[in-house]
């Protein structure tokens, strides 16, 4: 066992985050610990990517029913440790300011300990080498994040959201546990690297594990907890959960299905691909519908997880088809998107939190005209929106460009006609999701920041404190750097994806865009535009006037486009999927000529929630009530039940050899 510098750094990060358990209300000190731990994890993770894999076992007394606490430090784990560290460090400066705001209406004493546990357990999940270690870390991760979602537990909505999240994690863990037990029964080992199930033997455990991970990742149709839990959680927590925690599930997916494939069956790859594609479209469509900014971002996470899953699914399918080079590119795209989306989504959630702090609301029906009042948040939100819509030269562009490349590569380079056709369709599908994402973020940015303030709160909003701004600027800068430095990121990814196709040409050869010249063109364009503006200003002084006034005089801020009206055309297009309907009622004596009052109420009926999950929950509830009736309170009844079960077990135990 070699305990090199990377392992030491990761251990240091875990120690720093572990110290958060004593966080209490010392916000500044805790933020510093978070930051230092994040930096250590980032550097340690990056070093791990270049180092040879090594295994770490805890000594004998720390064992989990026959298998030790085992950790494996390899390039793939390094990549995710680095992502965790990056986002943790990125949100650190933001925390004290936000917590000061949060303390006014919520109890924050458990905040830092839960956050520390969450980060440590995420590192634990990523490094775990066997199933018991993984499950322990996974459970700590689920429970600590539940505690974080429930931070503002005095609000009934937050309480119910936290319970929904807890329920989702229970279902996920149960499925995961079942899958692991099944895999253990078939392979006789708890260690991930010993699992090489293929064919029909892989299908059952593989699907169960996929279900468990899908619930955590927010894969369609198990994504429903995301838009409920994220708005309820404090913003930095949403940033961590959405940016990193759902990616931890993606990590497990890559670890168990791709690198190396513990479960290999053609149906598994296709399942991941199809569900990923549906998630991408479904997520962004519902994001477009939302009025709550954080709900919108949560649905957008569903979309991006879908895109990542498309990449992972492509890698699985391509491996199955015997196209290792295409598989490697698809996996690299998925991993790059993991990083890119982690940073961008953290940035967007922090910006949403800043708007919440400044105005007291996240409702897009109320937010308006904040651009002048919150210039830094505005700039950072625009940067994040551009990145998440995959506009160059930001990070989202780089990762999605790779995703297109890998899908096109499969379409052009594959052999069988059906996969080629499907890959072609997939390109169009991803593009559709991309366009809808653009519309969605034009809506979010435009409605919240542009135009005129609709209320006094908006007009008097004050920019948030320095720490909160620094965090946003830092993450926005990372977005830009990741976009511009895409070839270097790819070079760093090389050892991670190398096991798929060891002999293939370097990944960087795929990146055919001339980054230097493009950056120069961009810089020149910006400079030229600025110069033109200056000369125009000098020639004729500009006049600031009401937007969209058209010579009628003051139109009033209520006449601006709203979030609902902006999204309406697109929603009508896909209205059947969510039963989108707009009810318009006009009141007045001669309503057609002299309307006194016009009400327009858009309504939706989310199919999945209303027609699948609610009946299921109601059924379980009814069963629960029925069982509760058996709770007669009679001691003899309980004892008899125990005796009957004991006898049954004895009989069954003797019948089954």
Partner 1 sequence: MSETMAAFLVLTGLWMVGLTNLRTKLVVYGVQTLALDAAAVSIGWQHGELALIVVGLVSALLKGLAVPTYLLHLTRHIGCRRDEGLFIAPPLLLLLTVGVLSALLLLRPMHDALRVADLPALALLLIGMILMISRRMAVSQIIGFLVLENGIFYYTIAQPRSMPLLVELGVLLELLAVAMLAGLLAFRINDRFEHIDVTALDSLRD
Please give the residue ranges that form the binding site for partner 1 (CB under 8 A): 631-636, 639-640, 642-643, 646-647, 650-651, 653-655, 657
Cα–Cα dist 436/570, whole Å: 8
**Nearer Cβ to partner 1, position 417 or 633?**
633
* Closest to 584 measured CA to CA, from 565, 566, 605: 565
Cα–Cα dist 119/116, whole Å: 5
CB of 632 to partner 1, least distance (A): 6
Q: Is the dihedral of CA 324, 330, 332, 334 positive or negative?
A: negative
Cα–Cα dist 320/308, whole Å: 18
CA 493 → CA 22, 331, 338, 421, 475, distances in Å? 36, 10, 12, 29, 21
Instruction: Give the number of C-alpha atoms closer than 13 A to the C-alpha of residue 652, restricted to the C-beta side.
Output: 6
| 516 in Cβ contact with 487 (< 8 Å) | no
**Torsion angle in degrees (nearest 10) through CA of 241, 247, 250, 252:** -80
* Closest to 170 measured CA to CA, from 196, 199, 202, 146: 146
CB of 642 to partner 1, least distance (A): 7
CB of 65 to partner 1, least distance (A): 18
Beta-carbon contacts of 269 under 8 Å, excluding residues fewer than 6 positions away, are 257, 313, 316, 317, 319, 320
CB of 657 to partner 1, least distance (A): 6
**Nearer Cβ to partner 1, position 551 or 653?**
653
CB of 18 to partner 1, least distance (A): 32
Instruction: Give the number of C-alpha atoms closer than 13 A to the C-alpha of residue 213, restricted to the C-beta side.
Output: 27
Find where tokens 């974080």 sit: 148
Cα–Cα dist 26/48, whole Å: 32
Cα–Cα dist 230/239, whole Å: 9
Q: Which residues share a beta bridge with 583?
A: 601
**Nearer Cβ to partner 1, position 418 or 630?**
630
**Nearer Cβ to partner 1, position 157 or 639?**
639
**Nearer Cβ to partner 1, position 61 or 502?**
61
CB of 650 to partner 1, least distance (A): 7
Question: 3-state DSSP call for residue 54?
Answer: strand
Cα–Cα dist 27/20, whole Å: 10
**Nearer Cβ to partner 1, position 536 or 647?**
647
CB of 641 to partner 1, least distance (A): 10
Q: What is the DSSP string of 79-120?
A: HHHHHHHHHHHHHTTHHHHHHHHHTTTS--TTHHHHHHHHHH
| 257 in Cβ contact with 208 (< 8 Å) | no
CB of 626 to partner 1, least distance (A): 15
**Nearer Cβ to partner 1, position 601 or 642?**
642
**Nearer Cβ to partner 1, position 417 or 657?**
657
CB of 181 to partner 1, least distance (A): 20
CB of 169 to partner 1, least distance (A): 27
User: 119 — phi, psi (to 5°)?
Assistant: -65, -45
| Token digits of residue 276 | 């990923």
Q: Which residues share a beta bridge with 196?
A: none
Find where tokens 């005095």 sit: 154
CB of 178 to partner 1, least distance (A): 24
The residue length of the chain stands at: 657
**Nearer Cβ to partner 1, position 600 or 648?**
648
**Nearer Cβ to partner 1, position 548 or 638?**
638
**Nearer Cβ to partner 1, position 58 or 642?**
642
**Nearer Cβ to partner 1, position 456 or 632?**
632
Beta-carbon contacts of 449 under 8 Å, excluding residues fewer than 6 positions away, are 369, 370, 371, 374, 378, 381, 382
Question: 3-state DSSP call for residue 363?
Answer: strand
**Nearer Cβ to partner 1, position 576 or 631?**
631
Cα–Cα dist 314/316, whole Å: 5
| Token digits of residue 579 | 């039963």
CB of 621 to partner 1, least distance (A): 17
CB of 622 to partner 1, least distance (A): 19
CB of 107 to partner 1, least distance (A): 28
Q: Which residues share a beta bridge with 54?
A: 73
**Nearer Cβ to partner 1, position 65 or 657?**
657
Cα–Cα dist 384/527, whole Å: 22
């Amino acid at each position: 066992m070699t305990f090199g510098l990377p392992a030491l750094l990761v251990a240091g990060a875990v120690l720093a985050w572990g110290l958060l358990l004593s966080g209490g209300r010392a916000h500044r000190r805790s933020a510093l610990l978070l930051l230092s731990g994040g930096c250590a994890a980032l550097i340690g993770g990056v070093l791990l990517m270049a180092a040879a894999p090594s295994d770490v076992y805890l000594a004998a007394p720390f064992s989990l029913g026959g298998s030790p606490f085992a950790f494996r430090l390899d390039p793939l784990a390094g990549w995710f440790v680095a992502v965790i560290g990056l986002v943790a460090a990125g949100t650190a400066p933001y925390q004290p300011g936000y917590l000061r705001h949060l303390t006014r209406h919520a109890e924050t004493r458990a905040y830092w300990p839960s956050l520390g546990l969450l980060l440590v357990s995420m590192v634990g999940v990523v490094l775990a080498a066997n199933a018991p270690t993984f499950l322990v870390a996974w459970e700590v991760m689920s429970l600590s994040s539940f505690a974080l979602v429930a931070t503002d537990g005095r609000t009934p909505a937050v309480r119910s959201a936290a319970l929904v999240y807890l329920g989702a994690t229970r279902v996920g863990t149960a499925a995961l546990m079942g899958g692991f037990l099944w895999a253990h029964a078939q392979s006789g080992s708890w260690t991930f690297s010993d699992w090489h199930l293929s064919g029909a033997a892989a299908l059952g455990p593989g699907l169960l594990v996929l279900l468990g991970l899908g619930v955590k990742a927010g894969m369609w149709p198990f994504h429903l907890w995301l838009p409920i839990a994220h708005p309820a959680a404090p913003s930095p927590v949403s940033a961590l959960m959405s940016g990193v925690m759902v990616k931890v599930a993606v990590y497990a997916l890559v670890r168990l299905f791709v690198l190396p494939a513990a479960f290999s069956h053609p149906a598994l790859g296709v399942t991941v691909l199809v569900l990923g594609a549906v998630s991408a479209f479904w997520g962004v469509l519902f994001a477009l519908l939302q009025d709550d900014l954080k709900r919108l971002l949560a649905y957008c996470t569903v979309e991006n997880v879908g895109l990542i899953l498309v990449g992972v699914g492509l890698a699985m399918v391509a491996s199955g088809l015997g196209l290792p080079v295409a598989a490697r590119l698809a996996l690299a795209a998925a991993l790059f998107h993991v990083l890119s989306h982690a940073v961008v989504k953290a940035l967007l959630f922090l910006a949403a939190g800043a708007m919440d702090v400044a105005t007291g609301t996240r409702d897009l029906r109320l937010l308006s005209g904040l651009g002048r009042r919150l210039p830094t948040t505005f700039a950072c939100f625009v940067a994040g929106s551009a990145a998440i819509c995959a506009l160059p030269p930001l990070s989202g562009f780089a990762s999605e460009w790779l995703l297109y490349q890998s899908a096109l590569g499969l379409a052009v380079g594959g052999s069988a006609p059906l996969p080629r056709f499907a890959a072609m369709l997939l390109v169009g599908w991803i593009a559709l999701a991309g366009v809808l994402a653009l519309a969605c973020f034009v809506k979010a940015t435009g409605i919240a920041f542009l135009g005129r303030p609709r209320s006094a709160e908006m007009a008097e909003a004050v920019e948030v404190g320095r720490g909160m701004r620094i965090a946003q600027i830092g993450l926005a800068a990372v977005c830009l750097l990741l976009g511009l430095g895409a070839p270097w990121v790819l070079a760093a990814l090389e050892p991670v994806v190398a096991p798929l196709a060891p002999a293939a040409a370097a990944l960087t050869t795929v990146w055919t865009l001339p980054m230097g010249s493009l950056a120069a063109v961009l810089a020149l364009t910006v400079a030229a535009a600025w110069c033109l503006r200056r000369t125009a200003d000098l020639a004729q002084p500009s006049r600031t006037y009401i937007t969209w006034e058209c010579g009628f005089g003051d139109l009033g801020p209520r006449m601006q486009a709203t979030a609902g009206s902006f999204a309406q055309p697109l929603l009508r297009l896909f209205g059947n999927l969510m039963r989108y309907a707009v009810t318009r009622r006009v009141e007045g004596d001669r309503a057609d000529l002299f309307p006194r009052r016009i009400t327009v109420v858009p309504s939706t009926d989310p199919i999945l929630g209303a027609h699948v999950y609610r009946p299921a929950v109601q059924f379980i509830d009814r069963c629960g009530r029925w069982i509760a009736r058996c709770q007669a309170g009679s001691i003899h009844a309980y004892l008899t039940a125990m005796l009957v079960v004991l006898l049954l077990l004895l009989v069954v135990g003797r019948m089954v050899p």
